[in-house]
Amino acid sequence: MRYVSVGDTDVKVSQLCFGTLQLGPLFSSMPPVQAAEVLVYARERGITTFDTARAFKSRDLLTHAFGTTADIVVIDKSSARTYEEMERDIAESLVELDREEADIFLLYDVRSREDFSLRRGAWDYLKEAKEMGLVKAIGFSTHTVEGAALAAELPEVDFVQVTFNIAGFGILDGDLKAMEEAMAKLKAAGKTVCAVKPLAGGMLARDRWEEALEFVFGHPLVDCVCVGMTTHEEVDANCAFANAEPLEGTLRETLTHMPKRLVILDWCTGCEACLPVCPTNALFMQRGIAKVLPERCDWCGKCGPLCPEQAIFLLPAPPRESAEGKE
């Protein structure tokens, strides 16, 4: 596994970062002990960097898996809009992760210059937190070209997470070429660039997952890649791509035919953008948010890229659901 230094800090991230959202209670009914075991297995495979956020509700899994061990790096994020909210969120993170200093802390989902301006107070406290030694490295996560370009202009930014995948899915204000141009500016400014959504929330996992992972791990503008994982097989496959190693045949077969499930998170705003593109009429509205009929969903992946809130994911089905689902 290759490790990358973050700016002029002493933080080093693994080229493959583990996204913990899918292991948390928003997605999974997996017992915490089982989820922690997957995290520990990832660490044994050389993954040292784990991504979480207040909204993910997965910090306790990291604490359960690793305790206070100093050999992992945690990327944490906050949707705070004010100075006081960011102060609270950083303090909460340190308590929940049982740490005296955060490794990497980001302003979460910066969508535009106007959005950043409205959240300037939160950014001001994040800068102060670094100066006080509460945070080692700071930056943005963003789903937009405008957010990535803005991060390149801010000298305080060390680390930037950008939505980036071979299809350009999930980039809210442009296409793949436009995001690459913004990433080039980030690299020129000395920022560490982390690609998130390399499989577009699983939407590329049905038949393009190998091509998608080869693309993002081999891209010259990407320093590290954050991938959500829930199984040993996913960890093994992603490590193979990160290490430029051959993918073992039985592993490819397992992942290609792994049953899946569509998940719509409760931060859906009910815009209904996903409904018209569903070829099997598996999506419907209930109490103002989109829902899915699992027996109708054929995992085509057409709905996720159209969701402006990034609330739709296509994930491996739990073992029991796999047995009861599609053959």
Running DSSP on this structure, what letter comes out for residue 278?
-
Instruction: Render pLDDT for 108-154 as a digit per residue (tens, 0 to 9).
Output: 999 999 999 999 999 999 999 999 999 999 999 999 999 999 999 99
What is residue 324's predicted lDDT score, i.e. its pLDDT?
Answer: 44
What letter represents residue 67's amino acid? G
In this predicted structure, the answer to whether residue 321 has a pLDDT above a threshold of 50 is no
For residue 319, name the pLDDT band (cuts at 50, 70, 90).
low
Confidence at 318, pLDDT banded by 50, 70, 90: low
Q: Which two tokens stand for residue 54?
A: 């207040």
Using alpha carbons, select from 58, 42, 47, 38 the residue that is nearest to residue 13: 47
- For 169-222, the pLDDT digits (tens) are 999 999 999 999 999 999 999 999 999 999 998 888 878 899 999 999 999 999
Domains of the chain: 3-256 (3.20.20.100), 260-324 (3.30.70.20)
Query: Confidence class of residue 249 from pLDDT cuts 50, 70 and 90?
Result: confident
Averaged pLDDT score across all residues of the chain: 92
Separation of alpha carbons 97 and 58, rounded Å = 10
Q: How high is the pLDDT of residue 296?
A: 93
Instruction: Give yes or no for a contact between 234 and 255, defined as CB atoms under 8 angstroms apart.
Output: yes
What are the φ and ψ backbone dihedral angles of 50, each rounded to 5 degrees? -130, 130
Work out the average pLDDT over 266-279.
92
Question: Which token pair is 119?
Answer: 């959240």
- Would you tell me the crossing angle of helices 232-242 and 209-217 to the nearest 10 degrees? 40
Q: Cβ distance 146 to 115 under 8 Å?
A: no
Residue 43 reports pLDDT greater than 80: yes
DSSP state of 228: E
pTM: 0.91
Q: Is the pLDDT of residue 34 over 70?
A: yes
